[in-house]
Amino acid sequence: MPEKERAFDMAIRYNEEKQVFSLHTKNTTYQMCVGKYGFLLHLYYGKRTEGSMDYLLTYADRGFSGNPYDAGTDRTFSMDALLQEFPTQGNGDFRTACLVVKNSDGTYSCDLRYKEHRIVQGKYAIPALPAVYADENEAETLEIVMADVVTGIEATLCYGVLEELDVITRSVKIVNGGKNDVSLEKVQSACLDFMDGGYDFIHFHGRHGMERVMQRTKSMHGLQSIGSRRGTSSHQHNPFMMVAAEAATEETGDCYGLSLMYSGSFKGEVELDQYNQTRVTIGIQDEMFSYPLAPQEAFYAPEVILSYSEAGFGRLSRNYHNVIRYHVCRGKYKDQQRPVLINNWEATYFDFNDEKIYSIAEQASELGVEMLVLDDGWFGKRDNDYSGLGDWFVNEKKMGGELKGLVEKINALGMKFGIWIEPEMVSEDSELYRKHPDWAFVIPGRRPVRGRSQLVLDFSRKEVVDGIFGQICEVLDGVNVEYIKIDMNRSITDVYSATAGDKNQGAVLYRYVLGVYDFLERLAARYPDMLIEGCSGGGGRFDAGMLYYSPQIWCSDNTDAIERLYIQHGTSFGYPVSSVGSHVSAVPNHQTGRSTSMKTRGVVAMAGSFGYELDLNKISEEEKQMVREQIKEYHKYWNMIHNGNYYRLTDPAVHGEIAAWEFAAADAGEALLNVVTIDTHCNASVQYVKLKGLAPEKVYRIEGEEGIYSGDALMNAGIPVPYMSDEYQAWQVHFIEA
Ligand code: GLA
């Protein structure tokens, strides 16, 4: 089929005659067209194809699916049945919409038609919001401007195509080009319409201490939705989700991912419609959202990272790992080895002083640990979690003086120093709250909901962000702090911004997130060499938005090695191992009471940015020796763990006996196999694991052992896991090319 396409070597092609846009990546194609009357219709997303697929559109006269007025007597053209790129409410499509606009006359309607488009080299950025970045030659951008001629509303749909990575990003800018105020009541960043049904909806739910548990359900007629109303992306649902063919597995089948780069309340939806078509959307949560847009004002929706794999979840995950670690994470530590750290939280909780911290550091440095992180309790009046938040000055009585002295002593041990902060919070018992009670979210006339006995600061206000930022800079300036852990320990309620006015309260939660991003951006700019670790009671704000500012996030407050198997398994679907903060802690574990060996705890924590979270003075000499070895091993395998390919070999929730995962070098020259037993039986059957990502023709040996194995045997027949009689044992072996 001859095509008048813009240029065949472009990732984005436009067929002028048919008005078809094709977005090509190495293995995928995304296609849409300007249909009759200027509606933007979706055609296809999936395995790479050539040529226009507008022949896929079908038209029929269907009862109760109305027709645009322009269609005249043609009753076969209905927005209720056609696939769309950015569905709006009010144009005859009764499925869930991406855009709901309340007009100045109180009506709800918006009718977007194609106006113009641009194709440019490079990847677009979004003002004040995180976005995937790429070099000029690594990405192309398509912007399609859609307009409502009645109100003057314009929506610019942005598509970023990262060809090599099989990634397409989407976001939307809404401009009020009219003369009257309007209000945006719902803005989803992306819609994926499918011509068929039969997709599974896969999402990651959880709770504090058990984040990102995968759930797979069949899509059903009607709307299924997940999301957060907590002001943060939340422990309860993660803003990464997938839809997949019913038969899709780790290795086979069509699957699609949507990762929202946003750290606030969000909503993800899957709707199977009356004609068995599937609509998937994701974006900002529309509950408590009502964004006033005055003439000429613009609203930016957060970015969604889309990817498709024809080869199951494994490949889809690796697409996300690559885009996040190299095109979302930034800063010095994006691809640099992160220091092995020791954090004092589970070692001391609030009960410490400078001497105790120093003694933990001293012992840790002797064993090879590279950084001491001073957690909660070093500032204000903070000996428990009832007071002190908001007072970001050193408690000199507790710390024996200024921070500088302690940092210098720790640096003299050859260790870096890091510190914990929770900038968005305030305790009622604090100097800050006494001085600025209106800085906290409290609805006038109501008593606020407390969470961990604290209130949330109104980060939608610049003066509040400025105030906290200023205090924190005073602590950090002139002191050699090389890491900062940024925490956020409650869900947001009582949203009321004292300076916003009545009309703007529905925009506060969105502006709050922008305020947090502004804070993080300023921090990164002022301290460019600082390693920032995100945290929200562990993994309550583990999202691609946060990873733009912090290349690692404390994965969970649950440090139990066995529970971490499940949490880290779920996390790995949408996020790279390099982003997962993971520590060896004491036994019996403080959250579960379970005891596991030092070896098992080490193997599990190595599937992440590795560290310790216990008092190493309190472990046996034998365990101390193991710590020394673990750190050496982590250094040895670091590159493969952080930059290699990650493979899930079992689903621990399904397998029941073992959890197995693997890191393989990109050139398949080596691999690190990890197995942990999660259940033991008398006279048990043998477990085999099949490796992945090796070269079938290559021959491998296990480091330190006799014998050779062919790559195809290891991948097709597997290898028996040695019998481990005790529960929760770990087996970690290094395969190298023989
Ligand atoms: C949160 C974090 C912990 C620790 C405490 C301190 O729960 O997830 O790691 O920093 O706060 O209060």
Ligand 1 pocket check for 312: Cβ under 6 Å: no
Average pLDDT over the chain reads 97
- The better pLDDT of the pair 170, 9 is held by 170
Ligand 1 pocket check for 111: Cβ under 6 Å: no
Crossing angle for the helix pair 354-367 and 621-643, nearest 10 degrees? Answer: 70
Q: How confident is the model at residue 285 (pLDDT cuts 50, 70, 90)?
A: very high
Ligand 1 pocket check for 379: Cβ under 6 Å: no
Q: What are phi and psi of 577, to 5 degrees?
A: -60, -35
Contact, 160 vs 169, CB < 8 A?
Answer: yes
Task: Indicate if 487 belongs to the active site.
Answer: yes
| Rounded (5°) CA angle 712-713-715 | 65
Residues 369-409 have pLDDT tens digits of: 999 999 999 999 999 999 999 999 999 999 999 999 999 99
CA pair distance 327, 321, nearest whole angstrom? 10
The DSSP annotation for 572-630 comes to: TTTS-GGGEEEEEE-SS-TTT-----HHHHHHHHTSSEEEEES-GGGS-HHHHHHHHHH
**pLDDT at residue 264 greater than cutoff 70:** yes
**pLDDT at residue 1 greater than cutoff 70:** no
Query: For ligand 1, atom 4, which residue shows the shortest CA distance?
Result: 345
Contact, 631 vs 605, CB < 8 A?
Answer: no
Contact, 33 vs 27, CB < 8 A?
Answer: no
Helix (H, G, I), strand (E, B) or coil at 485: strand
Q: Which two tokens stand for residue 552?
A: 């690692």
**pLDDT at residue 412 greater than cutoff 80:** yes
**What is the whole-number distance in angstroms between the Cα of residue 487 and the centre of ligand 1?**
7
Pick left, alpha or beta for residue 553 (phi over 0 → left; psi -120 to 50 → alpha; otherwise beta): beta
At residue 53, the pLDDT reads 98
Q: Which two tokens stand for residue 619?
A: 């472990």
**pLDDT at residue 6 greater than cutoff 60:** no
Query: For ligand 1, atom 1, which residue shows the shortest CA distance?
Result: 537
Ligand 1 pocket check for 489: Cβ under 6 Å: yes
249 CB neighbour count, 10 Å cutoff: 13
Residue 32's nearest CA partner among 8, 65, 59, 56 is 56
Crossing angle for the helix pair 508-526 and 462-476, nearest 10 degrees? Answer: 30
Catalytic residue among 111, 200, 391, 557: 557
CA pair distance 390, 431, nearest whole angstrom? 8
**pLDDT at residue 508 greater than cutoff 60:** yes
Query: For ligand 1, atom 11, which residue shows the shortest CA distance?
Result: 537
Ligand 1 pocket check for 376: Cβ under 6 Å: yes
List Cβ neighbours of 306 (8 Å cut-off, separation of 6 or more).
Answer: 30, 45, 167, 168, 169, 170, 190, 192, 256, 257, 258
CA pair distance 423, 389, nearest whole angstrom? 8
Residues 233-258 have pLDDT tens digits of: 999 999 999 999 999 999 999 999 99
Q: How confident is the model at residue 2 (pLDDT cuts 50, 70, 90)?
A: very low
| Mean pLDDT within 634-649 | 98
Residues 445-469 have pLDDT tens digits of: 999 999 999 999 999 999 999 999 9
**How far apart, in Å, are the Cα atoms of 559 and each of 565, 568, 595, 633?**
10, 11, 11, 20
| Mean pLDDT within 293-318 | 98
**pLDDT at residue 7 greater than cutoff 50:** no
At residue 713, the pLDDT reads 98
- The better pLDDT of the pair 727, 189 is held by 189
Residues 464-495 have pLDDT tens digits of: 999 999 999 999 999 999 999 999 999 999 99
Q: Which residue matches tokens 């996040």?
A: 324
Mutate to test the pocket of ligand 1, among 235, 346, 350, 376 (most ligand atoms within 8 A of CB): 376
Q: How confident is the model at residue 725 (pLDDT cuts 50, 70, 90)?
A: confident
**What is the whole-number distance in angstroms between the Cα of residue 616 and the centre of ligand 1?**
19
| Mean pLDDT within 307-319 | 98
**pLDDT at residue 112 greater than cutoff 80:** yes
| Mean pLDDT within 143-147 | 98
**pLDDT at residue 43 greater than cutoff 90:** yes
**pLDDT at residue 497 greater than cutoff 90:** yes
Contact, 360 vs 369, CB < 8 A?
Answer: no
Ligand 1 pocket check for 613: Cβ under 6 Å: no
Ligand 1 pocket check for 375: Cβ under 6 Å: yes
Residue 645: beta bridge partners?
664
Contact, 387 vs 379, CB < 8 A?
Answer: no
**pLDDT at residue 335 greater than cutoff 90:** no
**What is the whole-number distance in angstroms between the Cα of residue 378 and the centre of ligand 1?**
13
**Residue 485 Cα: closest atom of ligand 1:** 10
Residue 83's nearest CA partner among 196, 161, 187 is 196
Contact, 152 vs 165, CB < 8 A?
Answer: no
| Mean pLDDT within 292-297 | 98
**Least confident window among 4-13, 26-35, 374-383, 557-566:** 4-13
Could you give all domains of the chain from N- to C-terminal order, each with its CATH number?
12-327 (2.70.98.60), 652-737 (2.60.40.1180)
CA pair distance 531, 332, nearest whole angstrom? 8
**What is the whole-number distance in angstroms between the Cα of residue 349 and the centre of ligand 1?**
9
| Mean pLDDT within 346-363 | 98
Mutate to test the pocket of ligand 1, among 207, 342, 375 (most ligand atoms within 8 A of CB): 375
**What is the whole-number distance in angstroms between the Cα of residue 556 and the centre of ligand 1?**
9
What single letter denotes the amino acid at residue 390?
G
Query: For ligand 1, atom 8, which residue shows the shortest CA distance?
Result: 537
Measure the N-to-C terminal CA separation of the chain; round to a whole number of Å.
50
pTM above 0.85, yes or no: yes
**What is the whole-number distance in angstroms between the Cα of residue 565 and the centre of ligand 1?**
20
CA pair distance 493, 536, nearest whole angstrom? 16
At residue 8, the pLDDT reads 47
Task: Indicate if 557 belongs to the active site.
Answer: yes
Catalytic residue among 148, 458, 487, 560: 487
Residues 162-218 have pLDDT tens digits of: 999 999 999 999 999 999 999 999 999 999 999 999 999 999 999 999 999 999 999
Q: Which residue matches tokens 């610049």?
A: 462
**Residue 535 Cα: closest atom of ligand 1:** 8
Contact, 44 vs 31, CB < 8 A?
Answer: yes
At residue 4, the pLDDT reads 44
Residue 392's nearest CA partner among 330, 497, 481, 452 is 481
Q: How confident is the model at residue 726 (pLDDT cuts 50, 70, 90)?
A: confident
CA pair distance 221, 502, nearest whole angstrom? 38
